[in-house]
Each structure stands twice: as structure tokens, then as C-alpha cells.
Structure 1
Amino acid sequence: MKLSVDFDQCEANGICVGIAPDVFELDDEDQLHLGLTEVPSDRVDDVATAVAQCPKAALRLA
């Protein structure tokens, strides 16, 4: 599955980082970075939870 971020919507709340810190990272300037865009099958559940919990609906998993 592919993971993407709408950076215009993202407020860098960090909820996703708390759920899947190996996939999402906030830098020192509160910019979100993805550790990967192709989500392995063993990480889909956590990434899907992070997507669902995003308060700005800035994350997509397809």
C-alpha cells in the first residue's frame, strides 16, 4: 500500500509519530517526513490507525 501526505493540510500534530515512529518523523522545524511510502504488510495496521487518527485528514493510504 502507498502512503502519502497532503502537506498543505498537515499541521504536524505528531499523532502519527506517536503511533508509528518508524514511519513518521517530525524534524526540528515541525515538518513531517515519511520514513517510507510503500507500506509493508506488517506495518499496515499501525499506519492505517495513524491515517484514521490524523486530525486534519492529511494522510492517505491506498
Structure 2
Amino acid sequence: MKVMLDKARCTGLGICESLASDFFEIDDDGSLLVLKDEVTDADLMEVEEAIAGCPTEALRVLRDAG
């Protein structure tokens, strides 16, 4: 599974960073950095919480086919 970011939608509020700081960080210029894009089963709940907390719906998880 991979984290996908729609940069055009992201406003850099940082909610995702506060919920999953191992995966997301707001850069000094206010843009979102995806620190790790590979999501394991162990990390899925944390990442899904961060995605659900994004008010602009800029994040999603792309699940592997099959």
C-alpha cells in the first residue's frame, strides 16, 4: 500500500503530521512532505486516521491489487 498526496488540494494545515508524524511533515515553506509512502499493515490504522483528518481530502492510500 502507498500513500498518495494530491499537492493541488493540500493546504499544509498539518493535521496529518500531528496524527502520523512518521509519515507526514510540514516543511518550512508550508508544503507537506510524505516521509514514508509505503504503508504496512501495522501502520495502516495510524495513516488512515491521518487521512480521515485531512479537511481537504488531499491524501489517500492506494491499495495493492490482488
TM-score by length of 1: 0.94
Match of 1:20 in 2: 20
Match of 2:30 in 1: 30
Between Structure 1 and Structure 2, the one with more helix by share is: 1
Percent identical pairs in the alignment equals 39
Looking at structure 2, the residues matched to 21 and 38 of structure 1 have their Cα atoms a distance apart, in angstroms, of 14
Looking at structure 2, the residues matched to 36 and 17 of structure 1 have their Cα atoms a distance apart, in angstroms, of 12
Looking at structure 1, the residues matched to 42 and 26 of structure 2 have their Cα atoms a distance apart, in angstroms, of 22
User: Could you tell me which amino acid in structure 2 is paired with residue 28 of structure 1?
Assistant: D
Q: CA RMSD in A?
A: 0.7
What is the CA distance between 1:39 and its match in structure 2?
A: 0.6
The within-5 A match list for 1:5-16 is: 5-16=5-16
Gaps of at least 5 residues in structure 2 are none
User: Could you tell me which amino acid in structure 1 is paired with residue 28 of structure 2?
Assistant: D
Over 2 Å off, 4+ runs:
none
Determine helix, strand or coil for the equivalent of 1:41.
coil
Gaps of at least 5 residues in structure 1 are none
Determine helix, strand or coil for the equivalent of 1:33.
strand
Larger Rg: 2
Match of 1:42 in 2: 42
